[in-house]
Amino acid sequence: MIISIIIPHWNGIDVLSECLESLKKSTYKDKEIIVVDNASSDGSQEWIKENHPDIILIENDQNYGYAGGCNRGVYTAKGDWLLFLNNDTIHEPDWLELLAKSVEGKDDVAAIQPKIINYYERKLFDYAGGAGGHIDLFCYPFAKGRIFLEQEEDGGQYDTADDIFWASGTAFMVRKDVFEQAGRFDETFFAHQEEIDLCWRLQLMGKRIVFEPKAVVYHKNAVSLPMHSYRKYYLNHRNSFFMLLTNYNLPLTLYFLPVRLMLEFVAIAYAIVKWDLRHFGAVFNSLFWLLTHPLNIIKKRHLVRKVRMINDREILKKFYRGSIVFAHYIRGVKKYSDL
């Protein structure tokens, strides 16, 4: 099995350097490393050529984000499996072998995620992915080990290889042919939650997405976009709402839409009370974008209909049947195991 590791990159030579040095220590031999540079301005391109001439470098003419960068990396990839990887990660030496072994002979498995631990606090699950992703009915994502800003310590409580709804874009492996059939990453997302959107389509195609706890990656969360930046707020709100409008069938979209809108207005009200103008502006502008881009929504719904093999009644069995917002902020749930 050849694994093509695709790393989208935009500035930060020091971050990328640690990631590449870690990958060089990997014990898995049948791999290629592809760095997709999104028009870095810090000399990353020349640094890669000088220090890692064995790595395949793709130089984009502009910043296409995570989604666009990864898609362009796939054109060059020779592997049967694609491994999308953030540049701010390091890895246990055997992690690729464990992922490869876990999917061997399982044709129904389309994607797999390792355990993702915080780089700075090695007892904590990382914000971006933890022990595998899940989602509620209103398209708010969460993970085993992380609900909103609450991160659990890893005490082995999720050390079971099982099915998840989505695999984190921080580090996950997907079959190349299935990735192509699903329509690749939607570049409308630019960054944040495009992997959730992809995994939703994989689920609709009748495929499984799994978690392998023995494979471990360490992640420096929020290096590319700070946690409370306007851009991060905007992309998270817009992209999760975009999924609701495009991935459900029409009756369910209309059924869940009023509640999702109400939750967005609650977020706006909360931002006003806290006088958090960045959050207020991000939510407002995300709603404005959705309102002014109906063609994007229609086009995406057409793609989803095209790949769909499973009806929503079956897909809903894989969702958290409620609101994670209500569970966390009203009931006070802080751990996945308490849901």
Return the percentage of the chain with pLDDT > 70, whole number.
98
| Mean pLDDT (whole number) for 319-334 | 95
Tell me: do 148 and 255 sit in the same domain. no
Q: What is the mean pLDDT of the chain?
A: 96
Domain co-membership, 105 together with 166 = yes
Residue 268 belongs to some domain of the structure: yes
In a domain, 224, yes or no: no
Q: Which domain holds residue 237?
A: 230-308
Residue 324 lies in a domain: no
Residue indicated by tokens 């209309």: 254
Domain termination site, one of 219, 243, 262? 219
| Same domain, yes or no: 188 and 246 | no
User: What is the DSSP secondary structure assignment for residue 190, as one 8-state letter?
Assistant: -
Mean pLDDT of 289-299: 98
Q: Report the sign of the C-alpha dihedral through residues 160, 165, 170, 172, in that order.
A: positive
Of 215, 6, 188, the closest CA to residue 95 belongs to 215
Q: Is 193 left (phi over 0), alpha (psi -120 to 50) or beta?
A: left
pLDDT tens digits for 68-92?
999 999 999 999 999 999 999 999 9
pLDDT average, residue stretch 8-30:
96
- Coil, helix or strand at residue 135: strand
Residues 196 and 272 in one domain: no
For residues 249 and 304, membership in a common domain is answered with yes
Residue 227 confidence (pLDDT): 66
- Judge whether 322 lies within some domain: no
- Count how many domains the chain has: 2
Range 271-296 burial, b when 16+ CB lie within 10 A, else e: beeeeeeebbebbbebbebbeeeeeb
Q: What is the mean pLDDT of residues 223-246?
A: 88
pTM (two decimals):
0.95
Q: Examine the domain organization and report whether 20 and 136 are in the same domain.
A: yes
Q: Are 286 and 238 in contact (CB under 8 A)?
A: yes
Single out the residue in 219, 254, 275 at which a domain terminates: 219
CA distance 9 to 87: 6
Same domain, 53 and 180: yes
In what side-by-side order are the strands of the sheet with 109-118? Answer: 56-59, 31-37, 3-9, 81-85, 171-175, 109-118, 208-219, 89-91
Whole-number pLDDT of residue 224? 62
pLDDT of 228 strictly over 80 = no
Do 92 and 122 meet the contact criterion of CB atoms below 8 Å apart? no
Q: Is the pLDDT of residue 257 over 70?
A: yes
Question: Pick from 177, 176, 175, 182: which is nearest to 203 by CA?
Answer: 182
144 pLDDT more than 90: yes
State how far the Cα of 265 lies from the Cα of 66, in Å rounded to an integer: 28
Cα 335 from Cα 215, distance rounded (Å): 22
Q: Which one, of 141, 339, 112, lies nearest residue 247 by Cα? A: 141
Domain shared by 39 and 87, yes or no: yes
pLDDT surpasses 70 at 286: yes
Asked, for residue 159, whether it belongs to a domain, the answer is yes
pLDDT for 102 beyond 80: yes
Query: Are 160 and 100 part of one and the same domain?
Result: yes
CATH of the domain at 125: 3.90.550.10
Res. 225 pLDDT band, cuts 50 70 90: low
**Considering the domain boundaries, does residue 29 fall inside one?**
yes
Here the tokens at position 278 are 């960045």
User: 148 lies in a domain?
Assistant: yes
Does the pLDDT value for residue 223 go beyond 70? no
User: Does residue 335 belong to any structural domain of this protein?
Assistant: no
Any long-range contacts for 104-107 (C-beta under 8 Å, 24+ apart)? Answer: 104/1, 106/208
Asked if the model's pLDDT at residue 146 lies above 90, the reply is yes
Q: Could you give the residue ranges of the DSSP H alpha helices within 44-193?
A: 44-51, 65-74, 95-103, 176-181
Mean pLDDT of 136-141: 97
- 264 plus 304 within the same structural domain: yes
Are 81 and 186 contained in the same domain? yes
Task: Provide CB contacts within 8 A for 68, sequence distance 6+.
Answer: 38, 60, 185, 187, 190
Point out the domain boundary residue: 169, 200, 219: 219
Mark whether 56 and 98 lie in a shared domain. yes
Beta-carbon contacts of 91 under 8 Å, excluding residues fewer than 6 positions away, are 22, 23, 25, 26, 171, 216, 217, 218
